[in-house]
Amino acid sequence: MRVFWTEEEKQKLVELVFTMRQNDLESSLLAIVNRAQEQLPAERRRTIPSIKAIDWLPIELKKRMDAVKDRAAMSERAAQSARDSKSHQIELQEKLQNLVEVTKNKTLETTPVENLALELLARMLGPMEEIRRQLSGFERRIARLEEQPEPVAAEKRILRILLVGLLPDQVNNVRARFREAVDVRALDKDDPCRGIPVVDAAVLNTKFISHSMQQDIQRAYNGHGKVFFVNGGLSAVIERIEKLLQESA
């Protein structure tokens, strides 16, 4: 009998293949898919003659790769903006400093011809007052620029999330999916509700844990962390985590 994968199984396969592909660029995509199926129950595995038979998988892989590239491009743009800002600040400061030096040198110019002293003084008095006024303004601007702190790249904040009600391999899939962006902790449905770690949020898969355990976890945090309920599969949990990351950005 032909096996038809559920949406949850498809998402699990996508996550497995995506993670395995990052560490294996030599094997064919079909070979990686067949290896990934080893993590599915034996009765849920399928014989895949070619990738065309599961044409939805390359599409999902491309979406994930595009998301990774977008995040990398965003980080690079932020870093480049910080570099450009610093470079522009240094360039402006050098120009202003040069102008200050030129202006100061002008004040030291004298003439050895005694009979021209009064005439030169009269001619320079007006312009010199204007120069002094502009110089004072430039010096104030330089002082403000020097007082400005250098742009510091913001540290990437790692979101701490507790997962409850997921199987160990599902938890590993979540860790592989979010890698350094999320610090994943986990409790399964048989874990006692004590020694619960301090986290930013807890995601509970209500489909696989009791109502009493849900209440115990809510009481355990009681304002020290957000508790979110998900009634679905792994994809629903991943979607909730992605929303939490967007909200914390």
First and final C-alpha spacing in the chain: 47
Q: What local confidence, expressed as pLDDT, does residue 12 receive?
A: 94
Q: What local confidence, expressed as pLDDT, does residue 105 receive?
A: 63
The answer as to CATH 2.20.25 being correct for domain 159-248 is no
> Which token pair is 165?
């009600």
Rounded to 5 degrees, φ, ψ at 158 are: -90, 125
> Which token pair is 215?
């209440």
Centroid of chain to Cα 6: 32
CB 186 within 8 A of CB 162: yes
Q: What local confidence, expressed as pLDDT, does residue 220 receive?
A: 81
Indicate the domain borders of the chain: 7-70, 88-147, 159-248
Euclidean distance between CA atoms 92 and 160, whole angstroms: 43
Predicted confidence pLDDT, tens digits, the chain (249 residues)? 577 899 999 999 999 999 999 998 899 999 999 999 999 998 999 989 899 989 999 999 999 999 988 998 888 988 898 888 788 778 777 876 777 676 666 544 544 545 555 555 556 556 666 767 776 776 777 666 666 655 555 556 788 998 888 888 989 999 999 988 899 988 866 665 656 788 889 898 888 888 888 888 888 887 667 899 998 888 989 999 999 888 887
CB 32 within 8 A of CB 21: yes
Euclidean distance between CA atoms 227 and 237, whole angstroms: 13
> Which token pair is 108?
């030291």
Q: DSSP code of 187?
A: E
Please tell me the number of Cα atoms within 13 Å of 198 on its side-chain side.
1
| pTM check: above 0.85 | no
Euclidean distance between CA atoms 248 and 161, whole angstroms: 12
Q: What local confidence, expressed as pLDDT, does residue 35 receive?
A: 92
Euclidean distance between CA atoms 140 and 92, whole angstroms: 13
Euclidean distance between CA atoms 45 and 213, whole angstroms: 33
Euclidean distance between CA atoms 123 and 18, whole angstroms: 78
